[in-house]
Amino acid sequence: MRIAVGADHAGVPLNVRVIQELRATGHAVEDFGTHDASAPDDYPDYALRVGEAVQTGRAEIGILICGSGAGVSVAANKLKGIRAVMCSDTYTAHQSREHDDCNVLCLGARVTGVELALEIVRAFVAARFTGEERHLRRLQKIKKMEED
């Protein structure tokens, strides 16, 4: 799977581990950085880069990491067609893909431990949208909201 990954300065250590995990399991990772935890930067910049990769089809899904996960989630959800979800458990990670067709996972490096974060990533990456009528109906309503 083609996966776009990005993190601000707060997400650097977890970002490194997530990228290692994804590559070790055979995924093609487009790494949007950052790699310098000492230089404060702005999480919306990474949300935009990862979101655009997903919007254009360069990546099938994206993963964003900041301190809490909230900032990148808010920013990514401003992009048309992006359904970003902040997860702190594996159930939400797979359910968000299976029912809500979420295409960007957001993690908080300061609030989620590394091993749990990697399990969340695995659950999100492995899950697939079910395409059930009720889920399609709800997604159509979301798309209409984006257009209005």
Treating both helix axes as pointing N-terminal to C-terminal, what angle do 12-24 and 114-126 enclose, rounded to 10 degrees? 50
Structural domain count, the chain: 1
Q: What is the CATH number of the domain that holds 133?
A: 3.40.1400.10
pLDDT tens digits, 37-71: 998 899 999 999 999 999 999 999 999 999 999 99
Burial (CB count <10 Å: 0-12, 13-18, 19+), residue 80: exposed
Nearest to 94 by CA among 75, 118, 120: 120
The two structure tokens encoding residue 83:
């359904």
**pTM of the full structure:** 0.96
CA separation for the pair 140, 131 (Å, rounded)? 12
Residues taking part in catalysis: 66, 99
CB atoms closer than 10 angstroms to residue 84: 26
Q: Which domain holds residue 47?
A: 2-147
Predicted pLDDT at 112: 97
Predicted pLDDT at 40: 85
pLDDT tens digits, 98-132: 999 999 999 999 999 999 999 999 999 999 999 99
